[in-house]
A and B are shown apart, each in its own frame.
Chain A
Amino acid sequence: MANIETALKEAMTLEGAIGVALVDYTSGLTLGYLGGDGVMDMTVAAAGNTDVVRAKMRALELLGLQDGIEDILITLDSQYHLIRLLRARRGGDALFLYLALNKSRANLGLARHQLRKIEAELDV
């Protein structure tokens, strides 16, 4: 089992990683983040993407789908933004991992696979 620091560091070792954050989407506050330097403020990204996650959850609710979000991929012109929700933990914490990748350098399939592994091993 990995702690937050280890998980974030591991995510940053992914090819093309720009920044990563662990976010509590009940409040939008970050539990930790790494990277983002000069490209984006990871705390702002966390707050903004909290609304993305909430909007998708609301959409599922409206559709009446009894399903959960595994991950959300947003493709920009030059970046990939990958949001991976953490499976429900004790204490009802609602968390997601947010990973920004450089599109030209990253391997999306590999990054998604690795992020799944990081999430599975993360112990908050």
Chain B
Amino acid sequence: MTSPHGGLPSRLAPRHAAPQAAGPVRFDPATDPRRPLRLELAGLRHQVVGVTGCIIAGVDGLLILHDSRSAGEPHDVAAMAAAAHGISRTCGGALAQGEFQEVTIRNRQGCLAVYGIGDLALLAVVGDGTVNIARLHLEARPVLARLATMLDVTQL
């Protein structure tokens, strides 16, 4: 089953209304409890040229937070990130290679990188064709460490 607007079926966002245009997210900085998380995502997007969106999702595929300016619907990206994580974790288990760390899907005109934040959350980064993947991996490492700490203490 696909949604009337294309893309993956989403459990969280039944799209009976017109799909929301993906645009810059505006929140009141004074009252937004997730602001540190948003700043981390925005920081990563600014650090690495070609990153079009960052998403934090649960391993169940539900969206936690997004900083997406790409055309992709964040709920769909969250679901795809969880799917990518699922197959990667299965591989890791079958090959006795330990816990999931990171998976990158490279397409001709872009890429999707999914990193594990602890055991329960994922960071998905969408990039266009110009993204420096090695640089992205390097820049993502400290961000992941900070996000892991924040997700433990931040009331979501």
Q: Which residues of B contact A47 (CB under 8 A)?
A: 132, 134-135, 137-138
Which residues between 106 and 134 of chain B lie within 8 Å of chain A, taking CB atoms?
106, 130, 132-134
Instruction: Of the listed stretches A26-34, A64-72, A81-89, A95-103, name the one at the interface; the rest are far from the partner chain.
Output: A26-34
Which among B49, B106, B130, B133 has the greatest number of chain A C-beta atoms within 10 A? B133
A47-B132, A50-B132, A51-B132 known; A27+B106 contact, CB < 8 A: yes
Query: What residues of chain B lie closer than 8 Å to A27, measured between beta carbons?
Result: 106, 132-134
Contacts of A48 in B (CB 8 A): 135
Contact residues of A: prevailing secondary structure: helix
Residues of A within 8 A of B137 (CB): 47
**Chain A residues whose CB sits within 8 angstroms of the CB of B132 once the complex forms:** 27-28, 47, 50-51, 54
- List residues of B (30-75) whose CB comes within 8 Å of A's CBs: 49
Contacts of B134 in A (CB 8 A): 27-30, 43, 46-47, 50
> Chain B binding site: helix, strand, loop or mixed by DSSP?
helix
Min CB distance B132 to A, Å, is 4
Interface residue ranges of A19-45 to B (CB < 8 Å): 27-30, 43-44
Shortest distance between the CB of A45 and any CB in chain B (Å): 10
Interface centre among B106, B130, B135, B137 (most CB of A within 10 A): B135
CA distance A54 to B135 in the complex (A): 13
B111 CB → nearest A CB, Å: 8
Which residue from chain B places its CB closest to the CB of A50 in the assembled complex? B132
Can you offer 16 A-B residue contacts whose CB atoms are under 8 A?
A: A27-B106, A27-B132, A28-B132, A29-B134, A30-B134, A44-B138, A46-B134, A47-B132, A47-B135, A47-B137, A47-B138, A50-B134, A51-B132, A51-B135, A54-B130, A54-B132
Sort A-B residue pairs by CB-CB distance and give the 10 closest, nearest first.
A28-B134, A47-B134, A28-B132, A47-B135, A27-B133, A29-B134, A50-B132, A28-B135, A47-B138, A28-B133
